[in-house]
Structure 1
């Protein structure tokens, strides 16, 4: 009997879940639920990320690396391999390219290869939207977008579901890309306005930064009391989207403190001595009810979304389970 069970386990197929299938089976709500849950598990010590490997290739100006981890609460183990190729857009491809490998935590056996491009965008948007749900003022009415690249549309769609926003304002280094953000606003029935950065900050109650900048795009003097800022673009040493003084004057939350202080937006404020890593709050503490989150309507809150491997793994797990249940995955017997 045991031999039969072992033979059956050995014959389990490797699943291949394509990008198209991921888009079909993983919704924004699915991603929000999975990411919120794993942030809570991380804060409880029930899930953890392994050290990130991220290097410049010295070819095609690309950054390449691995993110991995284990969610003991959800029994999800794996890694995401991929990175950023800045010349891809000119080739008709997205700049971010990645693939997720999932393993059986009981045996170490490879379970699935899952397309990671759509999942990277939807999980990153889920991360900022989780921060908006838990930290933005309830009466937030204007949302500002800094950045209009591929991920900006995902970010805005997810964010609009968290508050009753009445207007979208946006800025991008290349204004010709702003119609991507405007189209999302139009689909949501909201007015859109392209503004300079200082004017955007004067209007916006929530600001999402989603760029690949290496210098501050937002200055402290522009940020009004009560603003919630989700910094989603800084995930590599040297990258930077906002003035470090903003973090020094904010209550700072993050997905993972270890990444926030080394490769996230907080790296600059921490290295200068202006922000102690002990002052940065895992957003999982807010989700679990162990931290109150926003304490007043005038408080500036900032979420440093560095992008942890567990985000990729838990949404890939949703894709694998759904694709298998719906017969959408390709199967290979190794």
Structure 2
């Protein structure tokens, strides 16, 4: 039996940029299709429940083996995130990355990411691509989909907690979805990063009337129409930014891309809770036994803890796909406050990767690599 030659495409970051990876409106459109696939069940992720976020390798605090990495700082891990996504994408793939906050001292990003796309039937590789920009833009685009359906009308003020990559991409999606935004507030921990973010926003969005750094969460939230938490955080909820209900403007949308906390009773009584994929949070509840919130720092895990505690029922948590398809109501009043939890899933990376891969092929971009001309052992 003979086997055919297998080649696959390699796309550098420069290739990805030329293929449109930074096209935020296009990415938001693709992510809306992803949310629809999630809601209809046309996807598979890892684990027996088909909803695992991925497989993580973390290192011990100490080890007798001198070459083994140690957990010596924030966000020290490796992560493999496989997924199949159907709908208009119909492709298998995996995001793979290493993350280490100490990278910044070396002039490197905290995380270095790649995505591999594979044929869904044979498993053969189709494309290996640089994925830092891909991951950043799909991360921001999911808040953009939420803003499209949940944001108050004529939103003018946006708050960003965390002036990093996720803050920039989330702001990009919010501005693309809510074109009447005219003011941006940002909260961070370091003066240098805050000044850099403010300068970036002023240069990128010259139509904005005001861009300012604020010192407190209260300043960030008060009189703000859309707030996104994109900050880094660990496993201790007491260290997360805390939002008091009295600060929230009626009708506001609060997006949890990363960690923040709120009073459970206030959320129950005064807000509508929305997640990007309910099954993901149920999988997290299995993987991180109660209390899940903290072990997983996304606010949606607090929602499932509230179900466990009998504060709310599962039906009180809306899936964004149900709102898109009209199965659940979206905004029904101008004063309605939404808390929207964004978990982040590899199906999103595969989907946006597929769009960029198709565009790259159409433009003749990338470098062809040979897996084999003929397999040596079969």
Normalization by structure 1: what TM-score? 0.89
Q: 1:160, 1:199 → 2: CA distance? A: 20
Q: 2:326, 2:187 → 1: CA distance? A: 35
Query: What pairs with 1:142-181 in structure 2 (closer than 5 Å)?
Result: 142-163=157-178, 164-181=180-197
2:98 paired with 1:57 = no
Q: Could you tell me which residue of structure 1 aligns to residue 243 of structure 2?
A: 219
Q: In the TM superposition, what is the alpha-carbon distance from 1:244 to its structure 2 partner?
A: 4.5
Equivalent of 2:213, from 175, 194, 199? 194
Q: 1:331, 1:15 → 2: CA distance? A: 5
Q: Which has the larger radius of gyration?
A: 2
Q: Could you tell me which residue of structure 2 aligns to residue 46 of structure 1?
A: 42
Residue 173 of structure 1 aligns to a residue in which SS? coil
Greater shift in the superposed pair: 128-137 or 258-267: 258-267
Normalization by structure 2: what TM-score? 0.79
Q: 1:44, 1:270 → 2: CA distance? A: 21
Q: 1:63, 1:125 → 2: CA distance? A: 22
Structure 1: which 5+ residue stretches go unaligned? 234-239
Residue 144 of structure 1 aligns to a residue in which SS? strand
Q: In the TM superposition, what is the alpha-carbon distance from 1:128 to its structure 2 partner?
A: 0.8
Q: In the TM superposition, what is the alpha-carbon distance from 1:36 to its structure 2 partner?
A: 0.9
Q: Could you tell me which residue of structure 2 aligns to residue 108 of structure 1?
A: 123
Relative to 1, partners in 2 of residues 1:208 and 1:117: Cα closer, same or farther, differing over 3 Å? same
Q: Could you tell me which residue of structure 2 aligns to residue 285 of structure 1?
A: 322
Q: Could you tell me which residue of structure 1 aligns to residue 82 of structure 2?
A: 68
Q: Could you tell me which residue of structure 1 aligns to residue 262 of structure 2?
A: 243
Q: In the TM superposition, what is the alpha-carbon distance from 1:275 to its structure 2 partner?
A: 4.2
Q: Could you tell me which residue of structure 2 aligns to residue 30 of structure 1?
A: 26
Q: 1:118, 1:46 → 2: CA distance? A: 25
Aligned length: 322
Structure 2: which 5+ residue stretches go unaligned? 47-51, 61-69, 285-295, 372-378
Equivalent of 2:146, from 127, 131, 150? 131
Q: 1:184, 1:165 → 2: CA distance? A: 16
Kept after mapping to 1: 8 A contact 2:25/2:176 = no
Relative to 1, partners in 2 of residues 1:275 and 1:309: Cα closer, same or farther, differing over 3 Å? farther
2:327 paired with 1:303 = no
RMSD: 2.1
Q: Deviations over 1:225-263 (max 9, x none)?
A: 211011112xxxxxx322253643421222222333523
Q: Could you tell me which residue of structure 2 aligns to residue 267 of structure 1?
A: 301
Equivalent of 1:17, from 11, 15, 19? 11
